[in-house]
Amino acid sequence: MADQIHFQGINLSVQIGDKAYFAPTVGQGSFSTALTSTAISIGTIIDISRGDVNASPNPNYIQVDNPNGVVIPVNAFIMFTKDNSVNSTEVLGYYAKAKFINDSDTKFELFSIGSEISLSSK
C-alpha cells in the first residue's frame, strides 16, 4: 500500500529511499507543536514530485510505501531520515590529502589539525 502526502514545498535533501515518519500536532496559541515526542514510522519514500506550487492540483508530493497501513492524521508533522550506510559524512576512500596555504603577508599559526578514520570498504 502506498500513500501520497502533499506539501506546499518539499525539502531539497529528501531522496527516494529515505524513511518517512510523522508526529501528530496540537495547536498551542498561534502555532502547532508535536503532540508526542515519538516519531511514528510511515515507510520508505518511493517517489517524489516537485513542481510549481501555484499549480492545481498541487504537484508537490512524496509517495511512501506504507506496508502497515499507518493512518496519518491531518496536519501531522512529517519528517524523514536517511540511510546511514549510504549517506554518511565521513571521507570515503583509501587516502585523503590536505594542503594548507597562507596567501597573507602576515604570519599565521595553526594550532591544531584533526582527522577521522572510518571503514569505507572491506
* pLDDT interval class at 46 (50, 70, 90): very high
The residue extents of the domains of the chain are 2-81
- Rama region for 89: left / alpha / beta (φ>0; ψ in -120 to 50; rest): alpha
Q: What is the mean pLDDT of residues 87-114?
A: 76
The mean pLDDT of the chain is: 80
Residue 84 has pLDDT above 90, yes or no: no
Phi and psi torsions of 64, nearest 5°: -120, 130
Work out the pLDDT band at 102, boundaries 50, 70, 90. confident
Q: Of 81, 84, 78, 87, whose CA–CA distance to 19 is shortest?
A: 81
Percent of all residues in the chain with a pLDDT value above 90, rounded to a whole number: 14
Q: Residues 9-37: what's their mean pLDDT?
A: 82
Q: Which of 89, 114, 99, 83 is nearest to 15 (CA)?
A: 83
Higher pLDDT among residues 79 and 32, named by residue: 79
Confidence of residue 27 (pLDDT cuts 50, 70, 90): confident
Is pLDDT of 120 > 60?
Answer: no
